[in-house]
Amino acid sequence: MRDKYAHSRRSPSGFVLPAPPPVVVAPKEGVVASSFLDQDRAYFHAYSHVGIHEEMIKDRARTDAYRDAIFFHADYIRDKVVMDVGCGTGILSIFCAYAGARKVHAVDASAIAVQAREVVKANNLSDVITVHHGRVEDLQIFEEVDVIVSEWMGYMLLYESMLGSVIYARDRWLKPGGLMLPSFATLYMAPITNAEKYSECIDFWRSVYGIDMSAMLPLAKQCSFEEPCIETVPAESVLSWPIVIKQIDCNTVTVRELETVKADFSVSSIMMESLGDRSERRFHSQQASRSLAL
Ligand SMILES: C[S@@+](CC[C@H](N)C(=O)[O-])C[C@H]1O[C@@H](n2cnc3c(N)ncnc32)[C@H](O)[C@@H]1O
């Protein structure tokens, strides 16, 4: 799982619902009228930092999976219109242009869109890719699209709450039977052990500067386990087979379906300390099918 900056995340309760029809005064191509909420401002500001994009692009499993899926669907994408929801630096839009897209609408509300436009220009793709700087909910384009590509996955798959924006774009612009990339996503959970972390945060209190501080143990346990913890754990720390918590069909999922995710499950392990999550996305179409697990 990539380590995006925690402060950049919208809270789970801040799920972005489709915005009401925006009041737009004839924007120029590539300039989107704004209906930013305050909570969105910090989120989009975080995405203007180069570090977060460097980290995402250097995540080879992620970037290769998208590139492979786009090229795998090149026969479908060729001469078609694509929308890249949350284009960041424009990398997925450029893959789509290389796959033969006739037109790519690359949309991002963060100031990174300014750099994306320069990247597109430097690669001589400005006639194919139009970078729109603004929220996709505020976008005004007057054509339907054949393909929507988006890298919307956050911690616990849904924590970033960006999928609502992709659903909005799908329902507004995707042609019937059009291609969603990715098409399916699955959230798994499995019990894990993390002995190093336990020792660092809990066992630490047993003796501090030679003082018996084990009275702190109950509070340390309470505080350590009440907040989710974002870490990469080695495979050997996973204590059982993962359980499927949520399967998402990106072609049909609704915002309402994502408001609450519930799953009944049971695991048994004598070593379990906490539950870890793992997500998988599948790039699948009626034209061809293929599964890429991250
Ligand atoms: C996870 S990053 C992916 C960036 C790029 N597609 C990539 O793969 O490297 C998500 C991007 O979506 C943008 N974004 C999130 N919600 C958006 C919305 N409602 N409208 C426009 N852009 C959005 C963020 O600013 C961010 O740059």
Domain boundaries, the chain: 33-183, 188-258
- Say how many Å lie between the CA of residue 135 and the centre of ligand 1: 9
Active site residues: 151, 160
Mutate to test the pocket of ligand 1, among 10, 53, 66, 108 (most ligand atoms within 8 A of CB): 108
Higher pLDDT, 192 or 106: 106
* Residue 67: exposure state from Cβ atoms within 10 A (0-12, 13-18, ≥19): middle
CA of 108 to the centre of ligand 1 (A): 6
Query: Are 33-183 and 188-258 equal in CATH topology?
Result: no
More confident residue, 112 or 286: 112
pLDDT band at 83 (very low <50, low <70, confident <90, very high): very high
Mean local confidence (pLDDT), 194-198: 86
pLDDT at 190 over 70: yes
- Residue of minimum CA distance from atom 4 in ligand 1: 88
CA neighbor of 289 nearest in space, from 66, 72, 62: 72
Is 133 in contact with 114 (CB distance < 8 Å)? Answer: yes
CA–CA dist 68, 4 (Å, integer): 23
DSSP assigned state of 184: E
What number is the average pLDDT over the span 19-37? 50
Contact 145, 179 (CB under 8 A): no
Q: How far apart are CA 138 and CA 59, in angstroms?
A: 30
Determine the distance separating the centroid of ligand 1 and the alpha carbon of 85, expressed in angstroms.
6
Mean pLDDT for the stretch of residues 106-119? 98
Mean pLDDT of 147-157: 95
Name the one residue in this structure whose structure tokens are 């999976």. Answer: 65
Q: Which atom of ligand 1 is nearest to the CA of 153?
A: 1
Ligand 1 surroundings by CB, under 6 angstroms:
44, 47, 53, 56-57, 86-89, 91-92, 107-110, 112, 135-137, 151, 162, 165
Class of domain 188-258: mainly beta
With cut-offs at 50, 70 and 90, classify the pLDDT of residue 182.
very high
For ligand 1, atom 11, name the residue with the nearest CA. 86
Query: Which CATH code is given to the segment(s) 33-183?
Result: 3.40.50.150
Q: In ligand 1, which atom is closest to the CA atom of 62? A: 8
